[in-house]
A and B are shown apart, each in its own frame.
Chain A
Amino acid sequence: MTSQHTRLTSADEARIRAEFDDAYDFDPKDPLFGLGRAAMCGPRLERRTVLRLLAAAGLLTSGHLMGAVRPARAEGKAGGTLTCGWAGVGEIVTLDPAQINQVLQFQISSNVLSGLTHINAELIAQGDLAESWTVSDDGTEYTFKLRQGVRFHNGDPFTADDVLFTYKRSSDPQKSIHSAVVANIAGLDKVDDHTVHFKLKAPQASFLPKVLERASGRAMTIVCKGALEKMGESAYGLAPVGTGPFKVTQHQLGQAVVLERNTEYYDKDRPKLDKVVIQPIIDAEPLAAAIEAGDIKLIGGNPIAPELIDRFAANGDLVVDETPGPTFQALWVNPWHENMKVTDFNKPLEELMKEKGFMARLAIAKAIDRHAYLKQAQFGRGTPAFGTVNPAMGHYFDPSLADSSNQKFDLAKAKQLFADAGYPDGKGFPKLRLLTTPSNKRETEVVANQLKQNLNIDVAIETKDFPVLIEDFDGMNWDLVRLGSGGDYDPDDALVDWMQTTSKFNGRLRDKSKYPFGFFSDKDVDALISKQSATADVDKRREMVVKANKTTSDKVASAFLFHQPDILVHHKSVNFPKESRIPGLVDLDRVTLA
């Protein structure tokens, strides 16, 4: 895995390797991951501790390690207004952590609301509202000392009651969509006004870096009880009151979110900016025009349309910062379609290879020239994909799969397979319906074109708005679907969510009497995935992840396409310190204007 913008010295590489090895060097049965109590307690965790916790939680990425390579830049002066555009979105429908279901939303809420912990780009997990904490020997009890004298934006003091209130709200599925995140918490007690005590059902590696994390965790992002009661849920959702570096002073749906400096922030040195204006901009051209004209100085939100990146990179006024992204994108092939039918993926691969339905599936996957696709559809940006596990997962990503996968592009073999399946030069193969969202239309045309050119398959693209597409996808009402996933930081996100028979996306609304499974089901894969989930030994876990990922690739659970990169674009007058460059987030508390 490489980063296009950072040259590593051999010393850096050695350090990264050493840190990696050390991070994973612990006994899986040890509830404290070989760290000992002292290391786990604190106001700050040591870098080594954090790396190890992340490793155990399956969250460690090479991007994290790379962070330390870059020295933090000199800071610009404080003050000023930063105008930002949030790409590919028409309105920021909510900033209430209990309702947030998109990365582009918690990118903003992370600047407004605090959690007990927050991790920075250098991977030093810091207490956010927690000043320090201690952990019991069995790793199931955490006691947090809370910061004193912190006030919410509305003046209410922050106390242990707010932690309890947040927990109570988040664990109620009627009020929060993230109740599953806090399911491992057995109990939460208030010791005194500034001390809380968590009891877990079982030791959990991801407790500090994920469950209590202020941005991506969302379940324990501290909300203000008084403000919620006074404003009501919907007003609070637009302009949440928190203890973060910025406060929302104005939010006109679909127009702009205005953040202003929280002068009472607990860290007197932050934030630097006086004001931040965030405009949602759905279309590519206006977005480009806005940043080129200087109307906006930074782009956050959804991934930027690939055709714009080169244009931005060529613009001397703009900085384009690219790292591997935690995503996969795929072309799903319905195994219940008459001409691509596979009713039992449990058979050994050799047997499957003799079935006509499987041959047609495999031919489709093999006929996709991923490099050509990337060049044409993504303007050369991204990594070819052969499974759901993505390069941002660092250790767990297996680059050799690109060579060993059954799906590897091979036109001659694809044509042969298709002919053997009974469709020489596509003769006799029906026209396929390919569903996609309007925003993916252009690149889906490239896929359809390849299938036409390479296998002579006629493909009718149907664009459907996301709500409709999802209904069809869940109901297995499709031939082909262009759909993928983002925000996958852990192998569980890629495997548990997608590749098990019981996965939440695996034909959720299908007619179960007709279809015993959705798009894929393999007993060995199911077992492997469950096992890797519960394995803390990373090398062993990696082995299982790699194996499961390869099986899904070889058996064509889906025709995998590519992994998108994570790209941050800003004006060069914006000083975005590397220590704030957390993948997927746009933390603005250290950002200054030149």
Chain B
Amino acid sequence: MSRFLIRRVIGSVIVMWAVATLVFFMLRIVPGDPIAAMLFDAGDAAAVEALRHKLGLDAPIYVQYFKWFWLMFHGDLGNSIYGSHVPVSQAIAEALPRTLSLASLGFIIALAIAVPAGLIAATRRNSMLDNVVSFGAFLGLSMPEFWLGILLIIVFAAGLKWLPAIGYAPLSEGFWPWLSHLILPAIAVGTTFSAIIARNIRSGMLEVLKTDYIRVARAKGLTGTAIILRHAFPNALIPVITVVGIAFALLMAGAVVVENVFAIKGLGRLLIQSILNRDYPTVQGAVLVVSTIFILCNLVVDVLYTMIDPRIRYDT
């Protein structure tokens, strides 16, 4: 187990290094000169060169690369090349709680919808309820998240005025301001996700219900509810955990567009904006953080697997 873990961690670190390096060099081939654009109005070639030099962007690329790497090992992700040159770590530190808040609330909403829906659908297979649930799940899967987001804004913010249309309030401003800003985006992010989990729970349950030990349990005279909750459900959770592993990928992908709709400056928006602005250090930092979290999620899933399902071993 621990040998497996060590190998996985080392592998993950290597992947992270490769991701960071790839991103670094690919950014440099992106067309577009951020400095010239920034000084568009100032318009002075000398000023452009002066700023380029100050930001170290006139050095050869490999020098920039090693410098960036060296600083990263010392916990310094560099500064944004824009405006007041905010440290990238600060931008990420501000964005991360927003994305995590959005993702976790989206996750909770998804589970709250998906678990009962999936269970009902599986236990009453082919009933009216099952059809409704699976149709709803398909519907959720088929809606572009940003579209759902805009519809939510129009109905609940602009129309009914129940919730704020956009923005984010940190928890420090109170629970309700935080929650009220997050409900709509979290629904937009969580819907697709709940559809996926519900489908997984349903098919997982169906498979478990077919197995011998459930038949044995039934033969022993256990009631349906007991069988489902005590025996079938825990087993059906295994495929669900796989999905949870890629939950971050899903929620991040959703967050990229949903954060844009709701004007929440989270990681996704930070990433998109810095890519569009050619803000090299910020893209590098954000990419590093996103991939780190993603890799960590996968690692945790692998570990959870071995804990839940003793049949799975990794010591080969």
B82 and A93 within 8 A (CB)? yes
Distance A92 CA – B263 CA, assembled complex (angstroms): 13
How far apart are the CA atoms of A235 and B260 in the complex, in Å?
25
Q: Are B158 and A101 in contact (CB under 8 A)?
A: no
Proximity string of chain A (448-467) to chain B, C-beta cutoff 8 Å, 1 when within and 0 when not: 00000000000000001111
The reply to whether the CB of B233 lies closer than 8 angstroms to some CB of chain A is no
Bound Cα distance A282, B261 (Å): 9
Partner of B32, one of A233, A256, A467, A497: A467
Residue contact A292 to B158, C-beta cutoff 8 Å = yes
Find B277's partner among A179, A236, A467, A497 (CB 8 Å cutoff): A467
A467 touching B44, Cβ below 8 Å? no
B41, B164, B269 pick with most chain A CB within 10 angstroms: B41
What's the least CB distance linking A16 to chain B, in Å?
Answer: 31
Interface: A124 (CB within 8 A): no
> Contact between B84 and A99 (Cβ–Cβ < 8 Å)?
yes
Partner of A471, one of B31, B45, B263, B265: B31
Q: Which one of A91, A236, A497 has the greatest number of beta carbons of chain B within 10 Å?
A: A91
Q: Are B166 and A295 in contact (CB under 8 A)?
A: yes
Contact in complex: A465, B277 (CB < 8 Å): yes
Cβ–Cβ contact B50 & A173, under 8 A: yes
The distance from the CB of A492 to the nearest CB of chain B, in whole angstroms, is: 13
Nearest-neighbour CB distance to chain A for B246, whole angstroms, equals 27
Q: Are B166 and A497 in touch, CB under 8 angstroms?
A: no
A504 within 8 A of B: yes
By a CB distance below 8 angstroms, the chain A residues around B273 are: 90-91, 254
With a 10 A CB-CB cut-off, give which of B80, B154, B166 has the most chain A CB atoms: B166
With A234-B79, A468-B32, A470-B40 as given contacts, are A255 and B85 in contact (CB-CB < 8 Å)? no
Interface hits, A193-241 → B, CB 8 Å: 233-238
Q: Would you call B38 an interface residue if the criterion is a C-beta within 8 Å of the partner chain's C-beta atoms? A: yes
Are B39 and A101 in contact, CB atoms less than 8 angstroms apart?
Answer: yes
Residues on A with beta carbons closer than 8 Å to the beta carbon of B32: 464-465, 467-468, 471
- Does A290 sit within 8 A of B, measured CB to CB? yes
A280 & B277 in contact (Cβ 8 Å cutoff): no
Q: Contacts A101-B38, A173-B47, A508-B43 given: A289-B165 contact, CB under 8 Å?
A: yes
Of B31, B86, B94, B164, which is within 8 A of A237 by CB? B86
**Bound complex: CA A51 to CA B45 (Å):** 35
- Pick the residue among B36, B50, B51, B269 that contacts A474 (CB under 8 A): B36
- In the assembled complex, the CB of B262 is this many whole angstroms from the nearest CB of chain A, namely 7
Q: Please report the C-alpha to C-alpha distance between residue A96 and residue B37 in the assembled complex, in whole angstroms.
A: 18
A423 CB → nearest B CB, Å: 32
Write out the residue numbers on chain B whose beta carbons fall within 8 Å of the beta carbon of A474.
Answer: 36
**Judging by beta carbons under 8 Å apart, are B42 and A288 in contact?**
no
Question: A1 on the interface (CB 8 Å rule)?
Answer: no
- Measured in the bound complex, the distance between the Cα atoms of B47 and A180 in whole Å is 10
B263 touches A282 (CB 8 A): yes
Cβ–Cβ contact A234 & B87, under 8 A: yes
* Contact in complex: A94, B83 (CB < 8 Å): yes
Q: Known contacts being A99-B84, A470-B36, is A289 close to B42, with CB within 8 Å?
A: no
Most chain B beta-carbon neighbours within 10 Å: one of A95, A96, A290, A294: A290
Minimum C-beta distance from B151 to chain A (A): 11
Shortest beta-carbon distance from A513 to chain B in Å: 17
The answer, among B79, B83, B87, B167, for a CB contact under 8 Å with A279, is B167
* B269 with A254: CB separation less than 8 A: yes
A282 to B269, CA, bound (A): 11
Tell me if B91 is interfacial: C-beta within 8 Å of chain A: yes
Given A101-B39, A177-B42, A234-B86: A465 in contact with B276 (beta carbons within 8 A)? yes
In the bound complex, CA of A424 to CA of B276 (Å)? 41
CA distance A180 to B91 in the complex (A): 32
Is A2 positioned at the interface, with any CB of B under 8 Å from its CB?
A: no
B269 touching A286, Cβ below 8 Å: no
Q: Which of A101, A233, A285 contacts B85 (CB 8 A)?
A: A233
Query: Complex formed: what's the CA distance from A34 to B87 in Å?
Result: 52
Number of interface residues of A (CB under 8 A): 53
C-alpha gap A467/B273 in the complex (Å): 12
Q: Which single member of B47, B168, B260 contacts A177 (CB below 8 Å)?
A: B47
A281 contact from B44, B94, B166, Cβ within 8 A: B166
Residues of B near A290 (CB, < 8 A) are 157, 164-167
Q: Is B43 in contact with A467, judged by CB distance below 8 angstroms? A: no
Residues of B within 8 A of A256 (CB): 167
Contact of B43 among A94, A238, A497 (CB under 8 A): A497
B residues 52-100 in Cβ contact with A at 8 Å = 54, 79-80, 82-87, 91, 94-95, 98
Give the bracket for the number of chain B residues in contact with chain A.
35 or more
Establish whether residues B37 and A467, one from each chain, have CB atoms under 8 Å apart when the complex forms.
Answer: yes
Query: What does the 1/0 interface line of A234-271 toward B look like (CB < 8 Å)?
Result: 11111000000000000011111000000000000000
Residue of A nearest to B40 (CB): A470
B33 within 8 A of A: yes
Contact A289 B84 (CB under 8 A): no
B1 within 8 Å of A by Cβ? no
A283 at the interface (CB under 8 A from B): yes
* Interface contact B263-A280, CB-CB below 8 Å: yes
- Residue B161 at the A interface, CB < 8 A? yes
Q: Is A505 an interface residue (CB 8 A)?
A: yes
Closest Cβ neighbor of A255 among chain B residues: B265
Q: Which residues of A contact B165 (CB under 8 A)?
A: 286, 289-290, 293, 295
The answer to whether A400 has its CB under 8 Å from any CB of chain B is: no
A297: chain B residues at CB < 8 Å are none
Contact of B263 among A177, A286, A292, A464 (CB under 8 A): A286
Q: Mark B220-246, 1 if CB is under 8 A from A, else 0.
A: 000000000000000000000000000
**B154: nearest chain-A partner, CB-CB:** A289
Residue A174 at the chain B interface, CB threshold 8 Å = yes
Distance between Cα atoms of A101 and B83 in the complex (Å): 9
Asked if residues A285 and B150 are in contact (CB atoms below 8 Å), the reply is: yes
B46 contacts the other chain (CB 8 A): yes
Most buried by A among B83, B84, B98, B167: B84
The smallest beta-carbon distance between A178 and chain B, in angstroms, is 7
Partner of A252, one of B39, B85, B265: B265
Instruction: Give the distance in Å from the alpha carbon of A173 to the alpha carbon of B50 in the complex.
Output: 7
Q: Are B47 and A505 in contact (CB under 8 A)?
A: no
**Inside 8 A of B264's CB, which chain A residues have their CB?**
255
State whether A178 and B42 are in contact (beta carbons under 8 Å apart), knowing that A286-B165, A467-B33 are contacts in the complex. Answer: yes
Check A504 against B43 for contact (C-beta < 8 Å).
yes
Name the A residues within 8 Å of B136 (CB-CB): none
B278 at the interface (CB under 8 A from A): yes
- The chain B residue sitting closest to A464, CB to CB, is B32
Picked from A91, A504, A509, the residue with its CB within 8 Å of the CB of B265 is A91
**14 A-B pairs in the complex with CB atoms less than 8 angstroms apart:** A95-B84, A101-B41, A234-B85, A237-B83, A253-B265, A279-B167, A283-B263, A289-B158, A290-B164, A295-B164, A465-B277, A467-B37, A504-B43, A509-B36
Other 4 A-B pairs with CB < 8 A, given A254-B269, A281-B166 = A101-B38, A255-B264, A256-B167, A289-B158
5 A-B pairs with the lowest CB-CB distances in the bound complex, closest first:
A237-B84, A93-B83, A254-B265, A504-B43, A94-B83
